[in-house]
Amino acid sequence: MTCVGHKPKHQSDMRLAENWSSLDPEPRLRRKLLSVAQSGSEDERSDLLRNKLSFGTAGLRGLVGPGPNRMNEAIVRITTQAVALRLGAPEDPISIVVGYDGRNDSKRFANQAAATLKELGAVVYLSTEVIPTPLAAYALSELKCDAGIVVTASHNPPEYNGYKLFWSHGSQITSPLDEEIAALMDGIVDGSFTPPKVSGGTIKSIPKSVFDKYFGHIKEYEFSSPSERANLSVAYSAMHGVGGPAIERALKDSGIKVFPVASQHKPDGNFPTVAFPNPEEPGATDLLKQTATKNAVDIAIANDPDADRLAALAPTTSGEFKALTGDEVGVLLATHLIEQGCRGIFACSIVSSSLLRKIARANHQVFLSTLTGFKWISKAARDKEAKSSERFMFGYEEALGYCVGGVVRDKDGVGAAVTFCDLVAKLKSDGLTVWDKLDEIAKVHGVFATKQVSIKFPGLSGATKMANLMNKLRNDPVHSFGTFNVDSKQDLLKDKDYPKSNVLIFHLPNDGRVIVRPSGTEPKVKCYYQVKVDVHDGNVTEARKKAGQLLTRLCNVHQKEVTST
């Protein structure tokens, strides 16, 4: 393929564009890429041609557009070919589940993935409609498939899409598997090998019985009585995503009254009522609060657009609905499961509150701490199960991701919603709220106050600036952050207890800490803060006040030091 006109400024860019365009079935994107190679700015050429999408904490994710650094049909096809080849296709028969969310390009990309797999002789179980990511992950396990693909960008803005990849164990892939698949992708792009087309591939629908089993399993972690659940009312937002039908089925089958946010209930890839479809973002739950207040519900919940995360808001004594943090929901769920007699492995990411460790060990449960990303929680639990008689009971990460009972080996915003509403129903029957329960936990273990702050690094120079910041923090000695002494620094590029990761942990006295790491999906460095204050004479209010003040001071002094680096 050639481009008519003046010779490009960089012949290598044109070769890259021509090579990629030969793999891209979309004429509009081919033309755009060749135009950038011909006459685009240095920044455009670098962005679209010289960079490429890579597997982060949750698969591939990027803006929709042309070239190897964007989500498009070509990247979906190439990635899917690499996945199939890694599994052994076409020599060995393989089966793969393919699902998709409600984003504008997701169905098209999913169909491309399914067609690609069929060409390689695979058996494909393709969702006939949009599907929550946890249900697709469950289908993979239930159908005993070799892998699962979900086309979704989770909570990113509407311009994005992505590709989550699950393996036969039901969890998302970790290294070195992601590196092996990336190497195969490079070989396909540079022509080192061409995947053959073979006969025998088929595309089937995911059987309805699979979903029926899923809903049966998540109800196993519902411990309240029918009358307690019938006395519970819930406001719900699907955030323009795919969780609505699953949440309504799960909760209404339990007798719980559900009041959906009507304008956000159906999938809409344009996300018209939210600037950023992430329940953690300011303003994202405004309509949910309105619905909750109007209907005087007991609790308000929201999923992110692919329904693998869960946000919760509860009324305060003034009647205002206030969001619980991911850490608060996590420790509430863990405590609820333990109090109902559930035993097993409890796990959380290193950036989540240390409170779960205290709760698990105080109740003689196995506790695991893992890298950020739910795939690492699942892997650690899987490894522990293989070496012991324990089984995975609960895992969470502070970014609103929870897994209850190991029904799904990944974040499950639907299953977690069922168990969370169950605990609220039981608390209500005892005349208590989630805030009362958190106070009970604090009296035993102390107040753990946590906060996450992100430093954005936009533009093409962002990655370099992020790397420079991490290198400086890694190499320069740090003895204190203002009045907060640093007891030790833990570098996870060197720590033998974790897979190598670009994470720094600064340990402070009395369970305090600061954690710094680059985001795996967005151009920013994330900083996680934690302080702990013991409760004296049962005065939780005073301890929370002191913890809040300490946390604010720590955040301010650390952010000032980091941004001046």
Instruction: Give 205-238 as a DSSP string.
Output: EPPHHHHHHHHHHHGGG--S-HHHHHT-EEEEE-
Q: How far is CA 55 from CA 4, 330, 396, 465, in A?
A: 35, 27, 21, 21
Q: What is the pLDDT of residue 249?
A: 96
* CATH for the stretch 54-206: 3.40.120.10
Comma-separated ranges of CATH 3.30.310.50 domains in the chain: 447-563
Q: How far is CA 264 from CA 43, 279, 320, 416, in A?
A: 37, 12, 21, 20
Residue type present at position 546: K
154 is catalytic: yes
Residue keyed to tokens 């009971």: 393
Q: What is the pLDDT of residue 3?
A: 36
Fold observed for domain 447-563:
TATA-Binding Protein (3.30.310)
Report yes or no on whether pTM surpasses 0.85.
yes
Token duo for residue 160? 């994005």
Q: How many Cα atoms sit within 13 Å of 129 on the Cβ side?
A: 9
203 conformational bin, left if phi > 0, alpha if psi -120 to 50, beta if neither: beta
Gap between the Cα atoms of 332 and 423, Å rounded: 8
Q: What is the pLDDT of residue 565?
A: 66
Residues 125-175: tens digit of each pLDDT: 999 999 999 999 999 999 999 999 999 999 999 999 999 999 999 999 999
Residues 81-114: tens digit of each pLDDT: 999 999 998 888 899 999 999 999 999 999 999 9
Gap between the Cα atoms of 160 and 277, Å rounded: 11
Q: How many Cα atoms sit within 13 Å of 415 on the Cβ side?
A: 32
Q: What is the pLDDT of residue 44?
A: 87
CB within 8 Å of 40: residues ≥ 6 apart: 48
494 conformational bin, left if phi > 0, alpha if psi -120 to 50, beta if neither: alpha
Sheet holding 524-533, edge to edge: 447-456, 524-533, 513-518, 504-507, 488-491
88 conformational bin, left if phi > 0, alpha if psi -120 to 50, beta if neither: left
Cα torsion 548, 551, 552, 553 to 10°: value is: 120
Contact 490, 504 (CB under 8 A): yes
The CATH architecture of the domain made up of 235-443 is 3-Layer(aba) Sandwich (3.40)
Q: What is the pLDDT of residue 10?
A: 62
Token duo for residue 103? 């984003």
Q: How far is CA 526 from CA 504, 516, 521, in A?
A: 11, 6, 11
Contact 486, 508 (CB under 8 A): yes
Neighbours of 375 (CB within 10 A): 27
Catalytic pick among 154, 171, 233, 254 = 154
Helix (H) or strand (E) holding 325: none
Q: At what angle do helices 244-253 and 413-429 cross, to 10 degrees?
A: 30
Comma-separated ranges of CATH 3.40.120.10 domains in the chain: 54-206, 235-443
List of the chain residues with pLDDT < 50: 1-9
